[in-house]
Amino acid sequence: MTSPVKNHNATTTSVDPDRPAGAIIVEPSSPRYPSGTPTAGAHRKIGIAVDLSDESAYAVKWAVQNYLRPGDAVILLHVRPTSVLYGADWGSIDLSFETDEESQQKLEDDFDNFTTTKANDLAQPLVEAQIPFKIHIVKDHDMKERLCLEVERLGLSAVIMGSRGFGASRRNTKGRLGSVSDYCVHHCVCPVVVVRYPDDSFGTDESAVKNAAEKDGGDVLHPVPEEEVEYHDASDKQTVDSKPI
């Protein structure tokens, strides 16, 4: 697996050829420009916000089993910390060594590779269900605000996320939402579906649906056409990989 190209060049990431989507990284300096997407032909574009936790993995499986339907396409949306020292769920980090420029760059590259691998693992239920998807990874220090911004930019019909993985205390949740989930419920422009993890206080596999329900109206569903994977650099100049999703 190759490391993403830095210095604001177009970013590409090699992935397992058996999986139909590659990861993309949008640099945080260009958050407000419109973003092209290979899921433009979908009847609905459903976002699943993931933070690489078990709760996020469960949310993806729940979406496949209970929410997604023919004609939908999925965008797995992940906001990666701008500094890997504040990253989570990738094991302990040895801070005893001198963080010179070279070692810091290696740490960034390793974390990018780890993030891409984990995101593709999370997408496996979508692969097995043959649901069109792409992985959308951005870097920002403010996960809450950036998630809502990307949801709007991508024109999502709804966003699904776990209830606890995003900032909630694991020791004393009492069924409450994490800070990121709660923020998205109140600030996202589309309906937000919060999936409760099975061992939450309420002990249920059902989701709590926040915001207004979607008005589907029984429209006829159309298949999602195969399209090309798009990558974006810091100025959002688009380059296209010839490999389809």
Whose tokens are 């070692």? That residue is 103
Which of 44 and 94 is assigned the larger pLDDT?
A: 44
The two tokens of residue 233 are: 């650099």
CATH of domain 23-238: 3.40.50.620
Mean pLDDT, rounded, for 173-189: 78
The encoded tokens of residue 75 equal 């965008």
Can you give the pLDDT at residue 99? 55
More confident residue, 69 or 208: 69
pLDDT at 232: 45
Three-class secondary structure of residue 228 per DSSP: strand
Alpha helices in the chain (DSSP H): 54-66, 101-122, 124-128, 143-153, 179-187
Domain boundaries, the chain: 23-238
Backbone angles phi, psi at 19, to 5 degrees: -105, 135
| Cα 115 from Cα 235, distance rounded (Å) | 23
Residue 118 or 204, more confident:
118
Of 146, 141, 147, the closest CA to residue 162 belongs to 147
Reference 94, options 107, 83, 105, 82; nearest CA is: 107
At 41 the pLDDT is 74
Residue that the structure tokens 């965008």 belong to: 75
Identify the CA nearest to 148 among candidates 81, 236, 49, 52. 49
Locate tokens 């697996």: which residue?
A: 1
Res 102: pLDDT: 76
User: What does the alpha-carbon distance between residue 196 and residue 184 come to, in Å, rounded to a whole number?
Assistant: 15
Confidence of residue 40 (pLDDT cuts 50, 70, 90): low
Mean pLDDT is highest, among 14-23, 103-112, 152-161, 176-185, for: 152-161
Confidence band, pLDDT 50/70/90 cuts, at residue 11: very low
Least confident of 25-39, 104-118, 136-150, 169-183: 25-39
Mean pLDDT computed over 2-12: 38
- CB 99: neighbour CB atoms within 10 A? 10
Output the pLDDT for position 199.
72
The pLDDT of 187-202, averaged and rounded, is 84
Residue 200 has a pLDDT of: 54
Give CA–CA dist 227/2, Å, rounded.
23
Residue with more model confidence, 226 or 52: 52
Region 90-107: mean pLDDT is: 62
Q: What is the pLDDT of residues 67-96, one digit of tens each?
A: 999 999 999 999 988 765 544 444 445 555
- Identify which has the larger pLDDT, 211 or 13: 211
Reduced to 3 states, what is the DSSP secondary structure of residue 146? helix
